[in-house]
Amino acid sequence: MALIIDLKPSERVIIGSALITNDKSRTRLHIEGSAPILREKDIMRVDDADTPCKKIYMFLQMMYLSEHPEDMHKDYFDLVKMIQDAAPSTSVYFMEINDLIYAGKYYNALKRARDLIDYEKELTSNVA
């Protein structure tokens, strides 16, 4: 069964290692296969990874799109340790995310990292 994606005008999607930009009209794609797929709303640009938890999201995004995600595990887990040392309450999020990583479910880990980013905003708003 194919994955069906409706793209808005000028919307972008990453399929595998290719960035695809839609033209000026709506488009419907039928995608079969196992390539990683990220819609524009889920893509984080390097410049936008300006907080520790957004950097976690960026790592997960790169792992999801990579043919060899395990190559990034050490740097990812080093950052996780740094964040948990500074904010131990994030451990609940990282337990779930890390379980998903170990299971090879990088897309699900990426989705869970959105909650981590929201939690980070909540923590930093209390400081300000």
pLDDT given for residue 19 in this prediction: 93
For position 2, what pLDDT does the model report?
82
pLDDT of residue 128: 58
**H helix intervals, 35-105:** 52-65, 73-86, 91-102
Sketch the domain layout of the chain as residue ranges: 3-41, 44-127
**Residue 58 carries which side chain, given as an amino acid letter?**
M
With vertex at residue 79, the alpha carbon angle to CA 78 and CA 83, rounded to the nearest 5 degrees, is: 120
How many whole angstroms separate alpha carbon 13 and alpha carbon 22?
8
pTM across the whole model:
0.91
User: What is the rounded CA–CA span in Å between residue 27 and residue 46?
Assistant: 27
Q: What is the pLDDT of residue 126?
A: 76
Cβ–Cβ < 8 Å for 69, 105:
no
Which class for 53: exposed (0-12), middle (13-18), buried (19 or more C-beta within 10 A)? buried
Tell me the pLDDT of the chain (128 aa) as tens digits: 788 999 999 999 999 999 999 999 999 999 998 899 999 999 999 999 999 999 999 999 999 999 999 999 999 999 999 999 999 999 999 999 999 999 999 999 999 999 999 999 999 887 75
